[in-house]
Amino acid sequence: MSKLKCNDYGFECDFEVEGEQEKVIEDFRTHTEEVHGIDYSKEAVMQFLLRKQK
């Protein structure tokens, strides 16, 4: 199970997504692009997940 929260990455935002890794990556990318205007690559979001696991 993976989880990402916007406020972990410097955004003043309560958005968080939890679930299967691929869904978390896609939902987080969609949210950050639509709400914050940032288009993270899949690879960048994967790095966020990998760093959280350490």
Q: Which helix (H) or strand (E) holds 2?
A: strand 2-5
Q: Tokens at residue 51, please?
A: 């760093």
- Residue linked to tokens 């940032």: 38
DSSP state of 3: E
Mean pLDDT for the stretch of residues 40-48: 96
pTM of the shown model: 0.91
The fraction of the chain above a pLDDT of 70, given in percent, is 98
Mean pLDDT for the stretch of residues 11-29: 96
Is 10 or 43 the better-scoring residue by pLDDT? 43
